[in-house]
Structure 1
Amino acid sequence: MIRGVIIMNDQGKPRLIRFYEFQPVEKQQELVRSIYKILCSRAENVSNFVKVDSLFGPDVRLVYKTFATLYFVFIFDNSENELAMLDLMQVFVETLDKCFSNVCELDIVFNFNKVHTILDEIILGGQVLETSSSDVVMAVEDISKLEKNSNSIIPSIPGWQGR
C-alpha cells in the first residue's frame, strides 16, 4: 500500500502532502522535516530507495526523485514494488507536465486543487488506480469541464443572490 506522497522544494518546504493513513498535522510536519534531512544528506550517486523504518515502522520504504527544484517522494510498504513506485512517480510527473506544460513549483502552489485531482486519479486510498498519463489527463479535463459547467449554471438559477 502507498502510505503517502510528498512534493517539497529543494529547501524542504512542502508543496503537496498526502498521507493515506491519518497523521496529525504536527506529525506530518515532523515527517516532512525528517524526510528532507534524509534526502539532503544522501550523495547523488546512491539509490533513490530509502528504508524509513525509524519514521514509519517496519517494512516501509520511500522512493524519491528530483525534478528541477522539486523532490517527489512516494512512501510505501513492502506490498509495493520499488521500481513500480518509481514508474508511478514518473507517470505523475508526466501528467503534471501535460496539464501545466512543463510543471514548476509555482504551478503546484497556485493550482493545488488540480494537482490533488491529478493525484486522486492516479492513487486513491493508497491504491493505484491509473497508470496511463493520457487517461489521467482526459479525466482531469472532464472534471474541469464539469466544474466550469456547474459554476455557469448556479448564477442562472432564479432568485440566486450570489451568496
Structure 2
Amino acid sequence: YITMIKAILIINNHGKARLTKFYDHVSQDKQQQIIRDIFLLVSKRSDRACNFVEGEDIYDSDTKIVYKPFATLYFIFIVDSSESELSIIDLIQSFVETLDKCFENVCELHLIFNIDKVHYILDEMVMGGLLLETNSQIVVSNYQQQNKLEKTENPLLAGFQGVMQTIKH
C-alpha cells in the first residue's frame, strides 16, 4: 500500500502559511482558498477534539485533513481518505522531531529564515506525495551531509554560519 499525501501545510496561529507543498496541480488562487479554509477549520477546533477531519470538501471529496499543533504552528497534512490517521500523526511527529534536531528546538523563525532547508528535510521524508523515510536519524544524517557539502562548495557560507553561531552563544 502506497501512502498518498496530497499537500503539506504549516500555518501559524494567525493564519499565515509558513510552508506549503502541494503534490497535485492546484492553482495559486485555489491554494490560497484551501489554506484559508483549513486554517479556519483547525483553529476553531477544541484542544480535546481528534486531530483529523473527514467529510470536509475543502480540497476534494476523497481527502481527509490530519493536523497537529506545536507551539504557534499547525502542521497539516491533506491525505487520501483511505489513509491511516495514526500513521500520518506519527509522520507529523517524526517531521517535527527531525526539524527540532536540525535546528535545535525549531520555531517559526527557523522556518522563515531557512525555508530551503526545511523543504530539503521534507523532501527527504516525502517526495511527490509518497512517503520515503520516517526515521529522523537518517533524515538528520542526510541533512548534515548536505550542509557539509554546501560549506565546502561555498566557504563564505561556512564563515557566515560560524559568525552566527558565535553571536547565538
Task: Please give the TM-score of this superposition, normalised by the length of structure 2.
Answer: 0.86
Q: Considering only aligned residues, what root-mean-square deviation do their CA atoms show, in Å?
A: 1.1
Pair 11,81 (structure 1): closer, same or farther in 2 beyond 3 Å:
same
- Paired AA for residue 121 in structure 2: I
1:5 maps to which residue?
Answer: 8
Match of 1:149 among 139, 149, 152: 152
Aligned partner of 2:137 among 125, 134, 140? 134
Partner Cα distance (1:52, 1:136) in 2: 33
Unmatched runs of 5 consecutive residues or more in structure 1: 153-163
**Deviations 1:106-134 (CA, angstroms, capped at 9, x unpaired):** 00000001100000000000001001000
TM-score (ref. length: structure 1): 0.89
2:98 counterpart residue number: 95
Q: Return 5+ residue gaps in structure 2 as ranges.
A: 156-169
Q: Could you say which structure has the larger radius of gyration?
A: 1
| C-alpha displacement of 1:25 | 1.5
Structure 2 residue aligned with 1:122: 125
- Displacement, 1:146? 1.6
User: Within 2, Cα distance between the matches of 1:56 and 1:70?
Assistant: 20
Match status 1:29 vs 2:14: no
Q: Quick one: which of 65, 68, 71 aligns to 1:68?
A: 71
**How far, CA to CA, are the matches of 2:135 and 2:55 in structure 1?**
29
Runs of 4+ in 1 over 4 A off after TM superposition: none
Which of 111, 126, 150 is residue 108 of structure 1 equivalent to? 111
From 32, 55, 58, the equivalent of 1:55 is 58
* More moved, 116-125 vs 76-85: 76-85
For residues 26 and 100 of structure 1, do their structure 2 counterparts lie closer, same or farther at Cα, with a shift above 3 Å needed? same
| Equivalences, count | 152
CA displacement at 1:24 relative to structure 2: 1.6
C-alpha distance in 1 between matches for 2:119 and 2:88: 18
Partners of 2:55 and 2:130 lie apart in 1 by 20
